[in-house]
Structure 1
Amino acid sequence: MLTFIRFAAVAASLLLLPLGSFGPSPDAIVATAEQAASPVTKLAPQARRAVAAFGAEFGLAAANAHVPESGLAVGQTADDFRDWLRASPAHRAELSRFRSYLAAQGVEAVVPMWQLVRTSSSWKECAAEPFETPPADKWDHIVKTLQFVRDNVVPAVGQVEPLSAYRNEGLNSCSNGAPKSAHRHFFALDLTPLDTKVARADMIRSVCAAHAREGQAYDTGLGFYSGRRFHVDSSGYRKWGPNGKGATSPCVGQA
């Protein structure tokens, strides 16, 4: 009973929030809520729409279960995003405008929106924000990166999750990012495959092949970190390894 009351209270508060102008139809939203295995299914239709729309607007329906090796930093989960979004009306307004821009470019659904505004894994140590909507003058930079992810990375390794995207100058410096890091201008994403069955060696082989085949056409930079985390950007065709040099890229020597 208490769980039901809490969900009802949340739904009532969400009804006060403006719904996005993009996203699933009302019928699809209701269907999503009805399929969810939670007390949301017991709410009135209008309340179900509010709960589901809040999750659908920024891709929260795709809140992924994380495994330790994903590399996700503390404080950057879906629940943390909800807290950040509710902390300021400006956050929601800025992110809604960004979402509309990506939708117009046809890349809104490549990865969940809420993951696309994760900052650095070192955000807490640097006294920064775990999420940040990039400045509008940099939005166009991520479009080609998302196109490469959609057209080449996803077919190679399946759906991927962004772990880090835009980093402002101060955060980039504090988190030991390269002085000319593509993250500073929102060209770059650090990604990991959602499918935990994709081994590091297989991931490298598949992504390297995609980069060799189509990377130049998308101006794609490609680097690999430890585990199953890798970097893509669209600020210049290149590849690199642990020391930042092309010769040490794990792609070298790949068939």
Structure 2
Amino acid sequence: MRSAKGWLLAVALLAGTAQADERDLWMFAQWAGDHQTRPFREMLVNARLYGVVPIHQLLRSASDWKLCSASPFAVPPAANWPAVRSTLALLKTLDTQGILREFEVVSAYREPNLNRCAGGAVGSAHTRAFAVDILLPGWADPNPLCRFWQQYGQAWNMGLGRYPTGRIHIDTAGYRTWGGDGSAGSSFCVKPK
């Protein structure tokens, strides 16, 4: 039985953060049994990027998959794999530099119809390139991520956004930033002058 102090700590850690995604490893294993993921996995292994993000998170589609009667997971088309490698290389660098150690990917590649149903932007990097929406633990400070974007974002062609839900969007499809209202002016980061 958990003590009252333990419950208070758990509540404090979750306060102000979005809940973890229900699409866990078990659900992924059931889905993967009926879907071809081997070529995608081999590409990740060959690029030395397998495991940067757990595969069950890396293949999560939009969080609104149920509402949109879509698949909970999706393998990006092979034509998108260079963008997958680019974004994963960025995430690996962020981890290596200690900027982004703990996170959960809640949305990655989205088929265009699912993106539209889920309210994604027209031409979203989730559909045309490769993007991840992540959740940080409640104690994580997003400012080091912002500083990295300010210093190295242009070289990485890095998109960095933050939504009102607390989710953070990362891609390598264009140097830009935005905040809760979708504009650069509401971003938690500002472009260096």
Structure 1 length-normalised TM: 0.64
Higher mean displacement: 113-122 or 152-161: 152-161
Deviation at 1:153, TM superposition (A): 5.3
In structure 2, the gaps of 5 or more residues are 1-13
**Residue of 104, 107, 117 corresponding to 1:164:** 107
Determine whether 1:250 maps to 2:188: yes
Residue number in structure 1 paired with 2:158: 220
Residue number in structure 2 paired with 1:56: none
Separation of aligned partners in 2, 1:220 and 1:181: 14
Q: Secondary structure at the match of 2:75?
A: coil
Residue number in structure 2 paired with 1:98: 40
Separation of aligned partners in 1, 2:47 and 2:191: 36
Determine whether 1:174 maps to 2:112: no
Deviation at 1:224, TM superposition (A): 0.6
Deviation at 1:243, TM superposition (A): 2.2
Separation of aligned partners in 1, 2:131 and 2:113: 17
**Residue of 46, 50, 56 corresponding to 1:108:** 50
Determine whether 1:151 maps to 2:93: yes
Question: Does the 8 A contact of 1:71 with 1:229 survive in 2?
Answer: no
Output the amino acid matched with 2:112. E
Determine whether 1:83 maps to 2:25: no
Residue number in structure 1 paired with 2:84: 142
Output the amino acid matched with 2:40. F
Residue number in structure 2 paired with 1:207: 145
Question: Does the 8 A contact of 2:91 with 2:100 survive in 1?
Answer: no
Separation of aligned partners in 1, 2:135 and 2:84: 17
Residue number in structure 2 paired with 1:232: 170
Query: Structure with the greater relative contact order (CA < 8 A, sep ≥ 6): 1 or 2?
Result: 2
Output the amino acid matched with 1:135. P
Count how many residue pairs are aligned between Structure 1 and Structure 2.
Answer: 177
Deviation at 1:221, TM superposition (A): 0.3
Question: Does the 8 A contact of 2:68 with 2:118 survive in 1?
Answer: yes
Separation of aligned partners in 2, 1:114 and 1:252: 33
Separation of aligned partners in 2, 1:208 and 1:134: 27
Deviation at 1:228, TM superposition (A): 3.9
Shift in CA distance, 120/71, structure 1 to aligned 2, threshold 3 Å: farther
Residue number in structure 1 paired with 2:132: 189
Separation of aligned partners in 2, 1:229 and 1:183: 14
Output the amino acid matched with 2:107. S
Deviation at 1:129, TM superposition (A): 0.3
Separation of aligned partners in 2, 1:247 and 1:123: 30
Question: Does the 8 A contact of 1:152 with 1:214 survive in 2?
Answer: no
Deviation at 1:197, TM superposition (A): 2.7
Question: Does the 8 A contact of 1:191 with 1:231 survive in 2?
Answer: yes
In structure 1, the gaps of 5 or more residues are 1-66
Structure 2 length-normalised TM: 0.83
Between Structure 1 and Structure 2, which shows a larger proportion of helix residues? 1
